[in-house]
Amino acid sequence: MKQRLIERLERYVKIDTQADPTSLTTPSTEKQWDLINLLQEEIQALNLEVSVDDKGYLMATLPSNTDKQVPTIGLLAHVDTATDYNATNVKPNIVESYDGKDIKLGDTEKVLSTKTFPQLKNVIGHTLMTTDGTSLLGADDKAGIVEIMEAIIYLQEHPEIKHGDIRFSFTPDEEIGRGPHHFDVERFNADFAYTLDGSLEGELQYESFNAASAVIEINGVNVHPGSAKDVMVNANTLAMAFNDQLPSDEVPEHTEGYEGFYHLTDMSGSVEKAKLQYIIRDHDREQFERRKNHLLDLAKLLNSQYEDDLIKVTINDQYFNMGEKIKPHPELTAIPEKVIQSLGIKPITEPIRGGTDGSQLSYMGLPTPNLFTGGANFHGPFEYVSIDVMEKAVQTIVGIVSEFEQQS
């Protein structure tokens, strides 16, 4: 299977599918269709039912091969790649039997360093796929697509493994937060699903952040500096004062686990106008609401010092902690945990310090935990994936669908 995994992943990552957050279309880039159309052709060649709507959502079915009444399980992965690094002209490199040493990336000066990335010790002896240092790899989430495709093919080749209906879908624009925006849960017609969009071996994630964006718009009063006393209000200075009121230790670089944060992602300004853009994250819903209210209270406090309200805060919720929708269905995590353990892997059930499509899908009526793919260091030139762990991910999918059949 390893060679098939390599060949399929190489084929997919060479297709540029980078999303575009400034686009108003779905998919956000025309080039995502290149992979979507290829996947449709490959699934049709397997003689399976497959459809693609005008937004690029591919849905297909592997029919049940059991007489039992078994829940319909969904499997999902996204075709797009991240927007924050070059994703064109991807040249994947294969490292056989990784020896645990630093890996030079192509002809660049970049090195996949064991000091910087100590998790490399966990894949010694594995076959790795890396970048050549000039682009990201795109294993996020093409490794997930490969694993779903190979699991479907494996189940076709092994009809002695009994399972219910398996619905699988490949979707656009996850990397810009729009993955589920046009996903038709009713058309997908699954009882629950799993995203193959995790990272290190054994990850089984069913808790995510609650997430919101916040835009702070500040209007200053701009006059000649020579006559500015008691008149000028410098919007830049007011922006700095606003940010200084936030707890300095509640930022991404000083938090981990269940700890939430405020993250200043962008700032711009002049004396007359300034803008701060934040993302707000917290696993606890009450604490999440307190964080949002804190920004509003800060604006109110600073505005009270002036005759006019100079600071405007706009907050938009992005997604919520999917654990609230998944925990009432303990079998959705208990069965994968059992399967992962049966493969000799220790399950990693730490919360996602981010979100997946499952964060939104779970609130759309489709509870959707997240499974590992074997990749690491996503969204940059140091991205790599273990082919050995990808094989374990395929075995995990097969084990999950089989276990649900056996327990029905």
Q: Are residues 10 and 150 in the same domain?
A: yes
Mark which of 300, 318, 336 sits at the end of a domain: 318
pLDDT-derived band at 307 (thresholds 50, 70, 90) equals confident
Where are the extended beta strands (E) located within 153-282? 166-171, 192-196, 204-205, 210-219, 261-269, 273-282
User: In whole numbers, what is the pLDDT of the chain averaged over residues?
Assistant: 96
By C-alpha distance, which of 247, 226, 246, 243 is closest to 235? 243
Amino acid 28: pLDDT: 97
Q: Please state, for a pLDDT cut of 90, what percent of the chain lies above it.
A: 96
Q: What is the mean pLDDT of residues 62-70?
A: 97
Mark which of 272, 299, 318 sits at the end of a domain: 318
Q: What is the pLDDT of residues 15-28, one digit of tens each?
A: 999 999 999 999 99
Q: How far is Cα 325 from Cα 363, in angstroms, rounded to an integer?
A: 7
Amino acid 385: pLDDT: 98
Q: Are residues 189 and 313 in the same domain?
A: no
Is the pTM higher than 0.75? yes
Q: What is the mean pLDDT of residues 213-231?
A: 95
Q: Which residues contact 401 (CB under 8 A, 6 or more apart)?
A: 73, 155, 161, 163, 164, 166
The CATH number of the domain holding residue 166 is: 3.40.630.10
Q: Is residue 238 predicted with pLDDT exceeding 90?
A: yes
Mark which of 265, 298, 318 sits at the end of a domain: 318
Q: Are residues 293 and 333 in the same domain?
A: no
Q: What is the pLDDT of residues 105-149, one digit of tens each?
A: 999 999 999 999 999 999 999 999 999 999 999 999 999 999 999
Q: Are residues 99 and 217 in the same domain?
A: no
Q: Are residues 195 and 86 in the same domain?
A: yes
Q: What is the pLDDT of residues 183-200, one digit of tens each?
A: 999 999 999 999 999 999
**Active-site annotation holder among 16, 174, 282, 403:** 174
SS3 state of residue 32: helix
Amino acid 406: pLDDT: 97
Q: Are residues 291 and 379 in the same domain?
A: no
Amino acid 350: pLDDT: 87
Q: What is the pLDDT of residues 153-175, one digit of tens each?
A: 999 999 999 999 999 999 999 99
**Active-site annotation holder among 80, 165, 197, 207:** 80
Q: Are residues 189 and 65 in the same domain?
A: yes
Amino acid 181: pLDDT: 93
Amino acid 383: pLDDT: 97
Structure tokens at 166: 């398996």
Amino acid 15: pLDDT: 98
Where are the extended beta strands (E) located within 134-238? 166-171, 192-196, 204-205, 210-219
Q: How many domains are there within the chain? A: 2
Q: What is the mean pLDDT of residues 278-297?
A: 97
Outline where 221-378 has alpha helix (H): 235-244, 285-303, 323-326, 331-342, 357-361
Q: Is residue 97 predicted with pLDDT exceeding 90?
A: yes
Q: Are residues 336 and 187 in the same domain?
A: yes
Q: Which domain holds residue 163?
A: 2-207+321-406
Amino acid 356: pLDDT: 83
Q: Are residues 31 and 134 in the same domain?
A: yes
Counts of helices then strands in the chain (DSSP H, E): 10, 17
With beta carbons less than 8 A apart as the criterion, state whether 77 and 195 touch.
yes
The answer to whether 80 is a known catalytic residue is yes
The CATH number of the domain holding residue 279 is: 3.30.70.360
Q: Are residues 84 and 38 in the same domain?
A: yes
The answer to whether 174 is a known catalytic residue is yes
Q: Are residues 50 and 138 in the same domain?
A: yes
Q: Are residues 72 and 220 in the same domain?
A: no
Q: Contacts from 41-50 at CB under 8 Å and sequence distance 24+?
A: 42/149, 43/149, 46/152, 46/153, 46/156, 48/152
pLDDT-derived band at 84 (thresholds 50, 70, 90) equals confident
Q: What is the pLDDT of residues 318-350, one digit of tens each?
A: 999 999 999 999 999 999 999 999 999 999 998
Amino acid 355: pLDDT: 78
